[in-house]
A and B are shown apart, each in its own frame.
Chain A
Amino acid sequence: MDWKKSINAFIMNRKITVILIFLLFLAIVLIAISLGPVKLSLRELFFGQYSNILRLRITRVILGLVAGAGLAVAGVIFQGILRNPLAEPYVLGVSSGAGLGAALALFFNLSMELLPLTAFLGAVLTMFIVYNLAKLNGKVSTQGLILSGVIVGAVFASLLLFFVSISTNEAMHGITWWLLGSLQVFDIKLLIAVSIMILTGICIAIYFARDLNAISLGEEEALHLGINVDAVKKILFIIASLISGSIVCVCGIIGFVGLIIPHAVRLICGSDHRLVLPVSAISGGAFLILADTISRTLMPPVEVPIGVITAFIGGTVFIFLLRKKQKAPF
């Protein structure tokens, strides 16, 4: 067998897949901008006097891209460093921490502008507690991280419910809506800050892609390949947590993207993280933009919570992919 031909055909195959995914992404962006509760032709939208609506839709698309990309990349990172295909961005309790931070801001009647900040602080605090709880003899084990993440998440979720139930504050009920997730952009400055943070995070993750490949073989395997496993794990853990935390701050808790997208990408383009990370970012963005478009246009003027859409489409598409491959998914 001509091994070089075989390898080249394999690489070519993957390149074509990536290009197709990118084209699909562009198509979804265009569709998302042209669709909305107000029916406008593309001509009217771009050259008419509807620049406000255009701007509104574009910011939503940007938030969708950034949040979707961030969630998918955070999912890939957690699945890789925890070597657990069921890991997702919220598995280590970051979402409960952010939710608790937001609830506290509402509980103490702080101004709405402070809400994203307290939510972010809640996420960072959770990350810090989870990491240090998992540390034993100066070593952070994978099982330790998952256990302490799940436990801290559960404790914070119950505290969140506690504050919601004892609060007489009307605004507090808004937290439920916030927890369902939405891509509405309230503050353009916040969007910019979060975008920069998430894009930086994704770039750093891609920089460590090969280390992530080695770590997903096993920590000792990675060590024998010359990877400084402890340092890389710590950096990637912090990045993935910051990404998930900052996404929760701007658009609440949107489930399923971080779990489904990495899996779907692995099914389609294999497991090399140098490919999985960027392709997941684009696919996650496209997926969230699509879900948001559906949530806006399904039954206007009501916005269907985006989490409902992501779970519904994500679940169906994923089952389809799995059935089609008929192989062990992981």
Chain B
Amino acid sequence: MNVSNLVIADNVTCGYHHNQQILKDVSFKVKEGEFLGIIGPNGSGKSTLLRAASGCLKPAFGSVLYKGSNLYDIPHHQIAKDFAFVAQDTVFSFSFTAWEVVLMGRIPYLARMQQETSRDFQIARESMQLTDTLQFLNRQVNELSAGERQMTIIAKALAQDPKVLFLDEPTSHLDIGHQVQILNLLNELNRKKNITVIIVLHDLNLASEFCNRVLLVDNGYIFKAGSPEEVLTYQNIEEVYKTLVWVNKNPISGHPHILLINKRN
């Protein structure tokens, strides 16, 4: 078994009802330290793929391996020490403070009834520093702006001290300032702390700029996998999204840059 393959999905078929499978026989491998983007149209199965790979949606057929052992055989609290998940938007039914939310990231490391130690406080503080959220640690999370709230959720995920960070369209409600801030942060974590990032993105240009490798998902299958240059071609995009685009090169980074076309022209 090659250890550098951290997560392996092997012929995974899964969905939310027995008779309706969303992912169909999908296989892929994620190497340690990779920054993997998952892209595809609405309803193609991107989020389902992320759920299956992160351990919260058990495949009906096939298996997901983490470090060589079946992900769904590992106890929950053990996985939570290695995997953290950031959803598109977290709805808070109750008024927790930002600090309380970030500290919840330490739950996997604490026994029941055990108080947080100073080390837990230290890690929570560092995560808040990294995400620039320390300034509102005593504010209620549901009073924060969408961007500040998402940064708090990312801080909570970092407090889990994860090896793999899963993100499901974390920037889709945010302005470009926050989008770039979050992706730059992920990039930094990926390079400096060697955290493997698996991220579902809607914005093809963000995926092109930040990911080492992208999976283009269409209709429950992986349509194409490879570097942004290989995947983000106008032919692939037209076939999957049924939309005409113009693919250019970002003059600064050299990555593919996708331009939309108004029908009038």
Q: Report A's interface with B, CB cutoff 8 A.
A: 1, 3-4, 6-7, 10, 80, 83-85, 137, 207-208, 210-211, 213-214, 216-218, 220-221, 223-228, 266, 270-272, 327-328, 330
In the complex, are the beta carbons of A6 and B138 less than 8 A apart?
yes
Interface of B is mostly: mixed
Q: Report B's interface with A, CB cutoff 8 A.
A: 17-18, 51, 54-56, 75-81, 83-85, 87, 90-97, 99-101, 104-105, 107-108, 110, 112-113, 121, 125, 128, 134-135, 137-138, 140, 142-143, 160
The complex places the Cα of A224 from the Cα of B143 at a distance, in Å, of 24
Given A10-B138, A227-B107: A220 and B87 interface contact (C-beta under 8 Å):
yes
Given A6-B138, A226-B77: A272 and B95 interface contact (C-beta under 8 Å):
no
The complex places the Cα of A214 from the Cα of B79 at a distance, in Å, of 16
The complex places the Cα of A225 from the Cα of B255 at a distance, in Å, of 36
The complex places the Cα of A6 from the Cα of B107 at a distance, in Å, of 22
Given A221-B90, A224-B84: A1 and B134 interface contact (C-beta under 8 Å):
yes
In the complex, are the beta carbons of A225 and B94 less than 8 A apart?
no
The complex places the Cα of A10 from the Cα of B121 at a distance, in Å, of 14
Chain A to chain B: the 8 pairs with minimum beta-carbon distance, closest first:
A226-B80, A226-B77, A271-B94, A226-B108, A224-B85, A83-B93, A225-B107, A226-B76
Min CB–CB distance B192 → chain A (angstroms):
22
In the complex, are the beta carbons of B76 and A216 less than 8 A apart?
no
Min CB–CB distance A141 → chain B (angstroms):
11
In the complex, are the beta carbons of A272 and B100 less than 8 A apart?
yes
The complex places the Cα of A84 from the Cα of B77 at a distance, in Å, of 26
The complex places the Cα of A266 from the Cα of B75 at a distance, in Å, of 32
Chain B residues whose CB sits within 8 angstroms of the CB of A266 once the complex forms: 94-95
In the complex, are the beta carbons of B76 and A228 less than 8 A apart?
yes
Chain A residues whose CB sits within 8 angstroms of the CB of B17 once the complex forms: 137
Min CB–CB distance B205 → chain A (angstroms):
28
Contact partner of B96 among A80, A137, A272, CB < 8 A? A272
Chain B residues whose CB sits within 8 angstroms of the CB of A4 once the complex forms: 121
In the complex, are the beta carbons of A224 and B94 less than 8 A apart?
no
In the complex, are the beta carbons of B113 and A225 less than 8 A apart?
no
The complex places the Cα of A53 from the Cα of B142 at a distance, in Å, of 51
Chain B residues whose CB sits within 8 angstroms of the CB of A327 once the complex forms: 95, 140, 143
Given A220-B87, A227-B76, A270-B100: A3 and B137 interface contact (C-beta under 8 Å):
yes
Given A225-B105, A225-B107: A220 and B93 interface contact (C-beta under 8 Å):
no
Min CB–CB distance B177 → chain A (angstroms):
23
The complex places the Cα of A220 from the Cα of B101 at a distance, in Å, of 15
In the complex, are the beta carbons of B95 and A330 less than 8 A apart?
yes
In the complex, are the beta carbons of A271 and B100 less than 8 A apart?
yes
Chain A residues whose CB sits within 8 angstroms of the CB of B97 once the complex forms: 10, 270
Chain A residues whose CB sits within 8 angstroms of the CB of B95 once the complex forms: 266, 270-271, 327-328, 330
In the complex, are the beta carbons of B107 and A214 less than 8 A apart?
yes
Min CB–CB distance B181 → chain A (angstroms):
20
For the A-B complex with A221-B90, A225-B104 known, give 8 more contacts whose Cβ atoms are closer than 8 Å. Answer: A1-B135, A213-B107, A216-B94, A221-B85, A221-B87, A226-B77, A272-B96, A330-B94
In the complex, are the beta carbons of A216 and B93 less than 8 A apart?
yes
Min CB–CB distance B197 → chain A (angstroms):
15
Chain B residues whose CB sits within 8 angstroms of the CB of A225 once the complex forms: 80, 104-105, 107-108, 160
A selection of 12 A-B contacts at a CB cut-off of 8 Å is: A6-B137, A7-B137, A10-B99, A214-B107, A216-B94, A217-B96, A218-B87, A224-B83, A224-B85, A225-B104, A226-B79, A266-B94
Q: Which residue of B lies closest to A136 (CB)?
A: B17
The complex places the Cα of A137 from the Cα of B125 at a distance, in Å, of 41
Q: Which residue of B lies closest to A13 (CB)?
A: B138
Min CB–CB distance A143 → chain B (angstroms):
14
Given A214-B104, A270-B100, A327-B143: A226 and B78 interface contact (C-beta under 8 Å):
yes
